[in-house]
Amino acid sequence: MPKTKKSLILYQSMTGNTEKVVLRFKKVFKKHGWQCDTFKVDEKTDINNPPIDFQDYDFLCVGSGIYAQLPGTELFRMLFNITHLKRPGKKSVAHRKIVPGPKAGIVFVTYAGVHLGPKEAEPALSLLDLEIEHLRFKCIGRFSCPGKMGSRPRPGYWYADLIHRPNERDLKKAEIFLEEKIEELGVSSV
C-alpha cells in the first residue's frame, strides 16, 4: 500500500477570507486521499521557533490576505526567519545556491484589489513564491481571488461586489486550481 502523501497549508487570515480558501484546499486534499494539516499564523505565533518541520510534508501551500500589497507580516517574517537567519544548530539557506524541489507547493492570496484589481496580488504572490522555494519546495502555481473588505465598496472600485467575496464561484475556482496541480503531480491516493 502506498504511503499517504502529506500536505501542509500554512496561512495568515485576519478577516476570514483566506481561511475560506484554506478550507476548500483541505477538502480537495482529503478527496485525493492526502493527509492535510493546517497551521494558522497570527500575532501570537512564535515566528522564531515555529512548531513545524516543513520537510515532513510532500506538498506545501502558503497563503495570506494582502495588506498594503504584502502578505501578512507574521507569516512572511516566520518564513524569512526560517530561511535567512542563523539559528543554533541550523544553517541559513539564503546565502547559497538553492535548487527547489523535488517537493512542490503553491502560494495563494486574497485581496481587495480596489485600485488595480488582480495586479495588486502580484507582489505578495512573488514574495511567498520566493520563500517557499527557499524552503526547497518548487512553486508550481499561484492562486488569488478577491476578498471581502471591511467597508462597502464605493463607485470606482475595481470590483463592485467585494462585500460578497470570496463567493462560491471564487471558492470553486480555488478547488479546480488545486485539483489541477495535484493532477499535474500525478499523485493521488484515490
pLDDT digits (tens, 9 = 90+) for 32-46: 999 999 999 999 999
Q: Is the pLDDT of residue 93 over 70?
A: no
Q: What is the pTM of this model?
A: 0.90
pLDDT digits (tens, 9 = 90+) for 40-76: 999 999 998 889 999 999 999 999 999 888 999 999 9
Nearest to 121 by CA among 129, 130, 112: 112
Mean pLDDT of the chain: 88
- Work out the end-to-end distance of the chain between its first and last CA atoms, rounded to an integer number of angstroms: 12
CB distance 85 to 39 below 8 Å: no
CB distance 174 to 143 below 8 Å: yes
Q: Is the pLDDT of residue 189 over 80?
A: no
Q: What CA–CA distance (Å, rounded) separates 57 from 37? A: 9
Q: Is the pLDDT of residue 190 over 70?
A: no
How would residue 134 be classed by pLDDT, with cut points 50, 70 and 90?
Answer: very high
Could you tell me the domains of the chain? 6-184 (3.40.50.360)
At residue 149's C-alpha, the angle toward residues 38 and 39, to 5°, is 10
pLDDT digits (tens, 9 = 90+) for 139-177: 999 999 998 876 665 666 676 677 788 999 999 999 999
